[in-house]
Amino acid sequence: MRARVLALGSQLMSAQPGNIVLRCRLEKLSSDWLQLMTALHGSESVVHAARMQLLPARRAFTELMLWLQSVETMIREGSSKSLRSSTDVQFKQQKYRVHARIFLEVNKMDLQISIQHVLC
């Protein structure tokens, strides 16, 4: 768009070489465009830095949600199976105990990540 405006302005300038108002407006357009590009570059740097700070927390949260979904699926599938012996009960109890321990550790890590993010 900028190139088209400047090309059209240059054509008008060649058609009307003494038009001072047009020359001033084209110069102002060029300087405003330069300021816009400079401000845009600074804003992109700020947005990139903010994304990089949020990325570990977002990744940890996504991993936690995926893990929770897999545990819910496992529980749903496991609840439909009948328990035939005490060994089956012990196996299921051990499996849920391990998942509960992992769940607590993941929550602890998630809390630590959140606290670090708030403090930084």
pLDDT tens-digit readout, 59-112:
777 777 887 788 788 777 776 677 788 887 888 788 778 777 777 787 777 777
Rounded Cα–Cα distance for residues 81 and 87 (Å) = 14
The pLDDT tens digits of the residues spanning 35-67 come to: 888 888 788 878 877 776 766 667 777 777 887
Answer whether residue 21 shows pLDDT above 80.
Answer: yes
Residue 120 pLDDT: 58
Burial class (CB in 10 A: 0-12, 13-18, 19+), 73: exposed
Beta-carbon count within 10 A of 12 CB: 14
Please tell me the predicted confidence (pLDDT) of residue 118: 65
Q: What SS3 class is residue 35?
A: helix
23-33: average pLDDT: 84
Position 17 scores a pLDDT of 78
Q: What is the pLDDT of residue 117?
A: 66
Cβ contact 53:45 at 8 Å: no
State how far the Cα of 80 lies from the Cα of 85, in Å rounded to an integer.
Answer: 15
Rounded to whole angstroms, how far apart are CA atoms 37 and 72?
50
Q: How many CA atoms lie within 13 A of 114 on its CB side?
A: 7
What phi, psi does 89 have (nearest 5°)? -65, -45
pLDDT attached to residue 97: 80
Mean pLDDT, the chain, rounded, equals 78
* CB atoms inside a 10 Å sphere around CB 31: 10
